Each structure stands twice: as structure tokens, then as C-alpha cells.
Amino acid sequence: MQYALITGGSRGIGKAVCLKLADMGYNIIINYTSNDEEAKKTADAVKAKGVDAVLLKCDVSNMEAVDSTIGKWMEENKDKTISVLVNNAGIKRDNIMVLMPPEDWHKVMDTAVDGFFFVSRLVVKDMLVKRKGRVVNVVSLSGLKGLPGQTNYSASKGAVIAATKALAQEVGKRGITVNAVAPGFIKTEMTQDLPEDQIKGMIPMNRFGEAEEVASVVGFLVSKDSTYITGQVISVNGGLYS
Ligand code: NAP
């Protein structure tokens, strides 16, 4: 009974990851925070692939909520193992820094950084006991090179990149790998307000990426083909930055 937990798994990149890992035979736990309709659609699509789909609705930036949903599920399902964790939940609230409302700074930081911590502390603890596990953190090009208008988002993803490298060193001896995937511009609701025609000229591959192109790298990082890769950040950005 191997499960993969994908935070922010109901839409966009997270949804593509759920479907990819379902194809690989994992049962899927889909975390999300508000959009019940999309979450149910994703769960139905996962189930159609012949594996189990569990919906766990909670805000990953709220520790009590994480403990009382994800923690509770783990407690009540001791016969099931979360052997893959994909920390994917994320939001953006872009603005130039001097005009950025403090709540937009905190909301973006809390979702990415606290979300990573609150979920991983529960799941990785269990992985350590079982001496098995894969963690993949979805970060961003913005966290590698910094992007103007995204000081909050760049800082949050940069923090998760550093945490990825630190955690990988903590848990490697127990057979657990921790890696990050850094997408560039990917077609999801998060980027739907961006002018793709203007931006794509800057991208060597001259287009935005598809969510499935990120999901396939996550699939590789949780597969048997990547057993000796840990603490790495893999860019999926059409050559925009490396
Ligand atoms: P998206 O289409 O906006 O989907 C975001 C997902 O995260 C939804 O499932 C949403 O749930 C969930 N979510 C948001 N806040 C949450 C919270 N506090 N707790 C739990 N779930 C939460 O975004 P996306 O483009 O797929 O992005 C996914 C990840 O990739 C993010 O970490 C993002 O920063 C990163 N990324 C995206 C791009 C890009 O170009 N799209 C580029 C680089 C990195 P609800 O449906 O309930 O709101």
C-alpha cells in the first residue's frame, strides 16, 4: 500500500504529478486548500487509472490544519505508507518590493517554506522509521536566479532549495532522497495572466512548458532510475536559465 502525497495536487503541475505517479502505480493522496470541484475531478482521473485516490484538504501553511488532516490520516492508516512526498503547493503575489503589502510577503513565504516544513516533518519522520522514501520539492527558476517583482516568491523558493540540500544530507544514510525541480514558465492558472507571446522570445525553446513536462521529471526522481541522486535541483525551463 504505497502512497504518494502531492501538496497542491488538485490543479496545474500538482495534478499532472498525481496522474504521472498514478500511471507509475502509486496510490495518490491529493492535498489542496479551497477548490473542491477541481480536487474531485483530479481524484476521479486518478481513480480511473486503477489506483486509490484520497483527498486531504488543508492549508499547508497552517500547522494545526496539517497535523489534523495529514497527520490524522497517517495515524488512522498505519497499514499504508507514504513513500513519496511532493511538496508542490505554492502561490504568487507579485509586486515590486517597496510596494509589497506585508501580508503578501508572508502568505507566499508561509505557503512555500512553512508548508514544506509542516508537511515534511510528519512524512519524513515516518520515512526515517521505514528507511525508505523520496521527497521532491517543486521550486522555481525564480528561486535560482531571482526575478524582479517576485522578491517574496524568489526568497521562498530559494529557502526551499537550501532546505532541500540540508535535508538531503540529514536523511541520506536512511535511504531517503530529497531533490527539487525548478520549473521556468509553465502553462497553468498561475501563469495564465502572463503575456506568453512577449515572454516566449526570451526562452530558447520559444514556448512555455506543459505541466506534464515537469511531472515527468518528478516521476524520474521517484523512480528506481534515480536511486543515487539526492540534494539536487533539476531545472525544467526550456533553456531559459541553468
Ligand atoms: P496552480 O495551478 O495555481 O495550482 C496551485 C495548487 O496549489 C492548487 O492545487 C492549490 O489548491 C494548491 N494550493 C495553493 N495554496 C495552498 C495551500 N496553502 N495549501 C494547500 N494547497 C495549496 O499552480 P502551479 O502553476 O501548478 O504551481 C505549482 C507549483 O509549481 C507551485 O509551487 C509554483 O510555485 C511552482 N511553479 C510554477 C511555475 C509555473 O510557471 N506555473 C513555475 C515555477 C514554479 P486549490 O485549488 O485548492 O487552490
Q: How many domains does the chain have?
A: 1
DSSP state letters, 141-179: HHHHH--TTBHHHHHHHHHHHHHHHHHHHHHGGGTEEEE
Residue list, ligand 1 pocket, CB within 6 Å: 7-8, 10-14, 31-35, 38, 59-61, 88-91, 111, 138, 140, 183, 185-186, 188-191
Query: What does the alpha-carbon distance between residue 242 and residue 238 come to, in Å, rounded to a whole number?
Result: 10
Q: Assign residue 11 the CATH number of its domain.
A: 3.40.50.720
Q: Choose one of 5, 68, 188 to mutate for the ligand 1 pocket test, by most ligand atoms within 8 angstroms of C-beta.
A: 188
pLDDT at 174 over 60: yes
Location of C-alpha cell 498514478: 22
Q: Give me the mean pLDDT over the 216-241 stretch.
A: 97
Q: Choose one of 62, 67, 91 to mutate for the ligand 1 pocket test, by most ligand atoms within 8 angstroms of C-beta.
A: 91
Domain assignment of residue 241, yes or no: no
Closest ligand 1 atom, residue 111 Cα: 18
Full-model pTM: 0.98
Task: Tally Cβ neighbours within 10 Å of residue 141.
Answer: 22
pLDDT at 157: 98
Query: What does the alpha-carbon distance between residue 140 and residue 30 come to, in Å, rounded to a whole number?
Result: 21
Domain assignment of residue 60, yes or no: yes
pLDDT at 242 over 60: no
What is the pLDDT confidence band of residue 220, given thresholds at 50, 70 and 90?
very high
Q: Give me the mean pLDDT over the 173-188 stretch.
A: 98
Kindly report the protein residue whose alpha carbon is nearest to atom 12 of ligand 1: 8
Domain assignment of residue 229, yes or no: yes
Q: Give me the mean pLDDT over the 187-191 stretch.
A: 97
Domain assignment of residue 130, yes or no: yes
Give residue 82's domain range: 2-236
Look up residue 145 and give its three cell numbers: 536566479
Q: What percent of the chain has pLDDT over 70?
A: 100
Q: How many residues does the chain have?
A: 242
In angstroms, what CA-CA distances link 177 with 22, 165, 183? 20, 10, 19
Domain assignment of residue 242, yes or no: no
Q: Give me the mean pLDDT over the 13-24 stretch.
A: 98
